[in-house]
Amino acid sequence: MNEKGTVTRTPDILPEPTLRRLPWYLAYLSTLRHADVVTISTTRIAEALDVDPSQIAKDLSFLGIRGKTRIGYNVDDLERALRDYLGFDRSHNAVMMGAGSLGAALIADSGLHRYGLNIVAGVDIDPAVVGSEISGVKIFHRDRTAELIKELGIKIGIIAVPVEAAQEAADDLAAAGVRAIWNFTPSRIRVPEGVVISNTSIYSHLAVMYNRLSLIEQAGAK
């Protein structure tokens, strides 16, 4: 609220459901661009993604984007605006905590780089890994975490250590001043207030999938 007590619209405070839909639109626009489609209507997007057309118009209006009557949106322009808004075109320096199987895999994934995540260093305790390079990213000993974060201007820490070491890794990151932690372990880690936490537990998704799969198989066996 401003001094007069009226609510000022802050375009950056997006509801999380909107924020989760924007990458769907972006993915769909990429498909359209590959198919040489020039303009697209809200109705068409709505059909393709099974989202209400008015919801799409609302989501895009958060970005200050409005379609033209009868024409819709220009595919290239909308894709560029979405990438820019989502921060995929800016570079965000990150450190990978844990250069084991998953950590190494994430370092090697050039997709993350295309979405603006710039992993500038890895950290591990395994002597077999410390000192090595993965896809051009150097792996340092854990003792040097704080130093790396300061020297390389790292704002994001990614956690891909074994579950039992996850909280400790988060503590190290927060103490060294990172502003966001991306946790790939199924561990429920705690962070100080003011630090963004994002959880991507791919193994938890596996559990849900196995369960649904066994239900289908049971139903099929009846």
Site residues for a second copy, window 29-68 (CB under 8 A)?
30-31, 34-35, 48-50
- Using the rule CB under 8 A, which residue among 7, 216, 221, 222 binds a second copy? 216
- Using the rule CB under 8 A, which residue among 16, 128, 136, 221 binds a second copy? 16
Kindly tell me which of 69 and 193 has the beta carbon lying closer to a second copy. 193
**Whole-angstrom distance, CA of residue 99 vs CA of residue 106:** 9
Site string for a second copy, 158-197 (x = CB under 8 A): -----xx-x------------xx-x--xxxx-x---x-x-
Could you tell me how many helices (H) and strands (E) the chain has, helices first?
Answer: 9, 9
Kindly tell me which of 78 and 104 has the beta carbon lying closer to a second copy. 104
- Those residues whose C-beta lies under 8 Å from the C-beta of residue 214, and which sit 6 or more positions away, are none
Q: Are 94 and 158 in contact (CB under 8 A)?
A: yes
- Strands 39-40, 73-74: pairing is antiparallel
Site string for a second copy, 91-110 (x = CB under 8 A): -x--------xx-xxx-xxx
- Strands 92-97, 117-124: pairing is parallel
- Using the rule CB under 8 A, which residue among 99, 120, 130, 156 binds a second copy? 156
Kindly tell me which of 6 and 218 has the beta carbon lying closer to a second copy. 218
Residue linked to tokens 């057309």: 53
- Strands 133-134, 180-183: pairing is unpaired
Looking at residues 122 to 151 of the shown chain, list those that interact with a second copy (rule: CB under 8 A). Answer: none
